Amino acid sequence: MRIAIFENLANNAYVQAKVLNRLGHPVDLVLDPLDRYAMSDPRWEDLDLELPPDELDDVRLPDCELPDWVRRRPDTVVWPQPEEGRLVHLAKLVREAPALRRALRLAMRDGGWRAARMAAERGWVVRTLSEYDCVIAYGMGPAWAALAGVPCLAQTWGGDITMVPFYDTGDWEGHEALTLAGDERELAAAARLQRLGYARASRILLTDPRFLPFAARLGHAEKCVFLGFVIDLEKYSPQPEEELREELLGGSEGLIVFVPARQDWYWKGSDRLLRGFAQAAQEDSSAILVCAGWGADLERSRALAAELGIADRVRLLPFAMSKERLRRYYCAADIVADQFTVGSYGASALEAMSCGRPLLIHLERERFEPVFSKHPPVMNVTEPEEIASALTTLFRDPQLRASLGAEARQWTVEHHGPALAERVIELCHEVVAEPASRHPIASR
């Protein structure tokens, strides 16, 4: 059976494909040719580098050898690009239309001519996915798999199920506080395509229990399966990083709290952490806070650190870090702090736990109690006072830091390791073996 994973935001799909291939399951990763964001490039996972945040959108990363199971659109394929002149762009779309007749007709029916244009722009993706027996699709991948007429496991990463399907109804996650960038008509077409993708998907794999209400709103609760992110346990493991640690501390003794999350007060609660650290820092004058130096609220965080009198204790790094660089920072730190608002964890939290680091994070217990027999072993905090108390406790107790880090590693191995990867393959075989009448897809 040929299996593909599509869409590589934050390299979750690349890691999943890497682990599956390591376990002996041949799986291809199909990359979106229109996604030029650095963090979606497999090289971002493997290389040890840093970039200024304003260069992340469209950058050519250094060359390195990638596995042969990574599929990119060949350079020889001349395909329409959105930034081309309109007439050139439309001419290319028209030339390719006959090869995509079925997909364009379906996209037009559900989303109008803008949706059909989006499908044409990803024509190589649609044709490539049609070569497989089953597709594991992140992001907008469920839509392209539906247009390709292939059985699909729609695996979520966040906004693909909490935001995109509701762009045209106005009640997407965060609508109360945030505004969307982009043409409303384009966003509406994307929403209709994504709803088509979820409707045609055989299963929806929820990486976070908080996504279930959104799937239920779409009418698909019955085909949802909780399946978290697969973590590369070999890469993200406890390893010494003494040189980096010494560099961060300037040669002095002290404790390092590392924040891999971007500076974002709404989604990450970065301001809460700064306030909590300011209180805890009064108890330990040697502790420093090292933060990834990018995000919508970077300047607000810088100003808040100065207002709190901790600017000299906070290192807002002037760059975004590749995943290998992040791994080094996890291992150099004594404590890792993630987010304090959304109530769930993502890949960064799991990577830190896999590296054996005690983690500060906000998790809503009622979400995870039905999923795990044992709650994730973290310092579960949300308000600045709680953060301050947890940090102070960890600053004072090195044995607690060590034991909590060891528990975190073991929990990640049990719940986000090889067994989880094997479950994905089981689900692929399950949906392909189902009678054709049960597949909610159009005939190829």
Question: Mind listing the domains of the chain with CATH numbers?
Answer: 3-230+419-438 (3.40.50.2000), 242-416 (3.40.50.2000)
Instruction: Give the Cα-Cα-Cα angle 165, 260, 411 (nearest 5 degrees).
Output: 85
Strand, coil or helix: 219: coil
CB 33 within 8 A of CB 73: yes
| Separation between Cα atoms, residue 282 and residue 127, nearest integer Å | 60
Q: Which residues pair with 291 in a beta bridge?
A: 259, 316
Q: How confident is the model at residue 283 (pLDDT cuts 50, 70, 90)?
A: confident
Predicted confidence at residue 251, as pLDDT, reads: 83
Predicted confidence at residue 79, as pLDDT, reads: 55
Instruction: Give the Cα-Cα-Cα angle 90, 91, 92 (nearest 5 degrees).
Output: 90
What is the average pLDDT value for the chain, to the nearest integer? 91
> β-strands 70-71, 50-51: how paired?
unpaired
Model pTM score = 0.90
User: What is the DSSP secondary structure assignment for residue 281, as one 8-state letter?
Assistant: H
Residue among 121, 125, 116, 115 at smallest CA distance from 186? 115
Q: What is the pLDDT of residues 48-102, one digit of tens each?
A: 999 988 888 877 899 889 999 999 998 765 555 656 666 566 566 666 666 788 9
Mean pLDDT of 308-336: 95
Q: Which residues pair with 51 in a beta bridge?
A: 320
Q: What is the pLDDT of residues 115-155, one digit of tens each?
A: 999 998 899 999 999 999 999 999 999 999 999 999 999 99
Q: How confident is the model at residue 442 (pLDDT cuts 50, 70, 90)?
A: very low
Predicted confidence at residue 387, as pLDDT, reads: 98
Predicted confidence at residue 176, as pLDDT, reads: 85
Structure tokens belonging to residue 215: 């799937």
Predicted confidence at residue 367, as pLDDT, reads: 87
User: What is the DSSP secondary structure assignment for residue 291, as one 8-state letter?
Assistant: E
| Separation between Cα atoms, residue 25 and residue 261, nearest integer Å | 32
All residues at 6 or more sequence positions from 407 whose CB lies less than 8 Å from its CB, including other chains: 377
